[in-house]
Structure 1
């Protein structure tokens, strides 16, 4: 999934409020409302005439989307991937994604909005899957090549509310991750809290700017939190 849009010359002044491109990542467990907020942000940036690219992980390129389908597919044979296998699959997809989408778009001066990045790997494969963080970092550093988000928005929600959202979304086709037990979903949410509270470093030792978003609030209130985070961190006023 990759959506890019251009900037109208008539809104040059609005675009000039942001001097440089930004890599913005949305993080959180299943059913926290990330997709809704990403679309709201993308639409608002478009209205401001700000050039941006909307993408996701795993995915973002045709080959990486194939890996995504394999990763999220419900198992028909019972041989579900081990956490280390998941890590290797996601890193392969991320390598394609960074080299073919993220780096080229940032090099053009475009903003990149990404649904999930390395923090998801820390939560799903390391904290929940028990793959040592050093292993994650060692494998990930080759794919990242020092790429680090300018802002990571971490959506935190009560597990019960997140699961209720999943059930309410009639258009949502349940995948392997949605089908996790309630206990696993709770572990994932706590994993994001751990990443936030312990300031997880990236493989290069840097700590990305992370802001916690209260995803229990209304859609409108959550978007206000997103807009405030963008303004306070990146100077983007919406």
Structure 2
């Protein structure tokens, strides 16, 4: 059985990751690709605990929780789905760790060491947008966690995501950066799907697996 393709979707809060993830999965399904959408922190008990306490647990302790959830996520969901031949699209992964945990004062090298044995994606997508557009979107939808309540974070995030791009590239992972300031989620999704086809040569080439679910 051919292993599926693993795609990660990262970017600042308010950049449109969730909407884009749904559009990417729909685009791939229309083309006949079996897709599994997932997220981090995961929906496991550990992931739910991490998400629920991310405003109270900080720094190195939170970084360790995020990494522990990631290893469990890989073992219990990501790798089994890939082994079935499904494409997995994950909302937040390593690039987000390299940004969010550094905003929390954790050094990059500690984060890389903590994530040294994770499954690397076939494609890492980083969504960006103008800081003013991000602030406006966050104001409209409301903040989801403590970092989004800090008005200085969007500019700091932008710089850290540029650094994360270089770091992930250095790990041998192809990185696609898309500015979503003036781009619709559907256009962004089609660009990602096109990049996947160019990278793998087999995305959207097989029959849909009815067991694959969002």
User: Which of the five TM-score ranges fits, normalised by the shorter chain?
Assistant: 0.7 to 0.9
Alignment of 1:62-73 (within 5 A): 62-71=45-54, 73=55
Flag the structure with more relative contact order, 1 or 2, with Cα contacts below 8 A and sequence separation at least 6: 2
* Alignment gaps of 5+ in structure 1: 1-18, 74-79
* 1:92 counterpart = 2:68: yes
1:226 aligns with 2:209: no
Q: Which structure has the larger Rg over C-alpha atoms?
A: 1
CA distance in structure 2 between the aligned counterparts of 1:227 and 1:46, rounded to whole angstroms: 11
The Cα of 1:28 is off from its aligned counterpart by 0.2
1:178 CA drift (Å) = 5.5
Superposed counterparts of 1:180-219, under 5 Å: 180-196=149-165, 199-201=166-168, 206-219=171-184
Counterpart-to-counterpart distance in 1, 2:123 and 2:92: 12
In the TM superposition, residue 237 of structure 1 has moved relative to its aligned partner by: 6.3
Structure 2: tracts of 5 or more residues without a match: 206-214
Give CA-to-partner distance per residue, 1:32-67, whole Å, 9 cap, x none: 011111111111222223111110011142432232
Match of 1:152 in 2: 124
1:116 maps to which of 92, 105, 109: 92
Q: TM-score, normalised by structure 1?
A: 0.76
* Cα distance, 1:45–1:177 mapped onto 2, change above 3 Å: farther
Q: CA RMSD in A?
A: 2.3
Q: 1:44 to 1:225 in 2, by over 3 A?
A: closer
Counterpart secondary structure, 1:161: helix
